[in-house]
Amino acid sequence: MRQPTSKNQACNFRPGQMIKGRWHGNQYQIVRLLGEGAIGKVYLANRTGQPVAMKVARESMSVSSEVRALRQISKVRGVSLGPFFVDMDDLEGAHGSTSFYVMEYIDGEPFLSFINKRGKEWMALFLIQLLTDLSALHESGWVFGDLKPENLIVTQKTPSLRWIDVGGMTKMGRSIKEYTEFFDRGYWGLGDRKAEPSYDLFAVAMLIMNVGYPKRFQRINGGKKELLDKLKHQPSLSPYRDVIVKAIEHRYDDASQMKVDLMKVMKKKLTVSTPEKMHVRMKPTHKKRAHKRVSNVRMERKYKGTLETAVFSSFLLFLYILYLLG
């Protein structure tokens, strides 16, 4: 359904434009457009010198719904993924009244972009963090709903996963109000769209699939067999096969169970096997030259250095996991 032109225009702001709330009187200066979705647009703005994110919606009901979700997240102990709520107000303009809300601006890198640059080991780490917070969210009676890479960002300073869009959050037992087909079990014919923990866990499994298939893939016949075939033909996903299968078969009762299995995968990947022999000894012959021996020594040192670096990096990653999990 196309939105009326006037409502679309009401969401259009230009860089440098000053926005003043009708009721609270807070002023914001627009910096640039951050993104656009079905509900409205999100802008980077300045408020008294501090960066904030402003979401302008075409429908006031959408603003109220998302603000309730942001406030709900703040009540969940231990959850720090979502942006914190700042303000909600209306703007009077040529196209009538436009609703908007302001939240924390989270500066970071898109989830998939970060993983592609740093390696898939980080994916498991972030998903363990995600499952920890999903567990707390589910215990509070809510599900995330529209879980996908576009709604996840990795912070710049200390790498940590954060949500940047909570518009799909739905109370347990109700119908999921927002979803993206690739991550939706209903789209694959593997369940309904009822808000329950298993809905989010299916989406987490599809997040892993998305890392293996960055361009995603279209459904042909749907069903478990189609996903298992894709899983089989992507070797990089083989360490996560059991986790993915259990999630799409709804064999996890809660997020904590899936987290335990992912941690087992991480433990295996962090176990570095030291070769029995660091080099192969060659029988000395009168034809060997001195520079050949020197070259072998250099290659051996380089190999050792690479191995030590890998071990050290893995150790740091393991310590970071312990830090995140408390």
One-letter-per-residue 3-state SS of 259-299 = HHHHHHHHHHHHCCCCCCCCCCCCCCCCCCCHHHHHHHHHH
Mean pLDDT across the chain? 84
Q: What confidence score (pLDDT) does residue 277 get?
A: 38
CA distances from 183 to 36, 64, 195, 316 (A): 20, 25, 14, 32
Q: How large is the average pLDDT for residues 1-29?
A: 81
C-beta separation of 43 from 128 below 8 A: no
Set 133, 146, 184, 200: catalytic member = 146
Domain residues of the chain, as ranges?
Answer: 5-104, 108-270, 279-326
Q: How large is the average pLDDT for residues 214-235?
A: 96
Q: What confidence score (pLDDT) does residue 299 get?
A: 52
Same fold, 5-104 and 108-270: no
Confidence of residue 10 (pLDDT cuts 50, 70, 90): low
Q: How large is the average pLDDT for residues 193-205?
A: 99
Q: What confidence score (pLDDT) does residue 276 get?
A: 42
Q: How large is the average pLDDT for residues 186-206?
A: 98
Q: What confidence score (pLDDT) does residue 153 get?
A: 95
CATH homologous superfamily for the domain 108-270: Transferase(Phosphotransferase) domain 1 (1.10.510.10)
Instruction: For residue 146, indicate whether it is catalytic.
Output: yes
pTM of the model: 0.80
pLDDT digits (tens, 9 = 90+) for 34-46: 988 777 899 999 9
Architecture of domain 5-104: 2-Layer Sandwich (3.30)
Cα dihedral value 248, 253, 256, 262, nearest 10: -30
- Of 177, 192, 188, the closest CA to residue 142 belongs to 177
Q: Is the pLDDT of residue 323 over 80?
A: no
Locate tokens 């457009």: which residue? 33
Which of 108-117, 121-130, 230-239, 276-285 comes out lowest in average pLDDT? 276-285
Strand partners, 18: 29
Q: What confidence score (pLDDT) does residue 275 get?
A: 43
Long-range contacts of 321-326 (CB under 8 A, 24+ apart): 321/125, 321/128, 321/263, 321/266, 324/125, 324/128, 324/129, 324/132, 324/160, 325/128, 325/132
Strand partners, 57: 40
Confidence of residue 315 (pLDDT cuts 50, 70, 90): very low
Q: How large is the average pLDDT for residues 219-244?
A: 97
